Amino acid sequence: MNKLMKIMLLLVLAAFCSLASAQEPDYADMGSWAYWRVGENKPADLFIVCPTVDLGTGGNKNMSLADNEAKKNFYGALNMERGIYEQHCRMYAPYYRQAVLADYDLPINEAEPYFNLAYKDVRAAFVYYMQHENNGRPFVLAGFSQGAEMCLRLLKEFGNEGFVKNNMVACYAIGWRFTPQEAAEYPYIQPAKCADDLGKVIIFNSEAPEVTSSAIVPEGVKTFAINPLTWSCGSQKAPKTLNTGACFTDYSGAVVREVPQLTGCYIDSVRGTLKVTDVDKKEFVPGLPLFSEGVYHIYDYQFFYRNLQQNVNLRIKTLYGRKAGKKMQLNKSLPHIKILATGGTIAGSAAQAGQLTGYTAGALGIGKPL
Domain extent listing, the chain: 19-325
pLDDT tens per residue, range 46-102: 999 999 999 999 999 999 999 999 999 999 999 999 999 999 999 999 999 999 999
How far is it, in rounded angstroms, from Cα 306 to Cα 243?
Answer: 8
- Best CA proximity match to 245, nearest among 236, 257, 237, 253: 257
Predicted pLDDT at 62? 98
Q: What is the pLDDT of residue 335?
A: 52
The pLDDT score that the predictor gives to residue 155 is 98
Its pTM stands at 0.84
pLDDT beneath 70, residues of the chain: 1-22, 326-370
Spatial CA neighbour of 304 closest among 78, 81, 52: 81
- The H-assigned helical ranges of 140-253 are 146-158, 162-167, 180-185
Q: What is the pLDDT of residue 324?
A: 80
pLDDT at 119: 98
pLDDT for residue 366:
30
- Give the pLDDT of residue 327: 61
Rounded to an integer, what distance in angstroms lies between the CA atom of residue 62 and that of residue 57?
A: 11
DSSP state of 241: G
Q: What are phi and psi of 198, to 5 degrees?
A: -105, 150
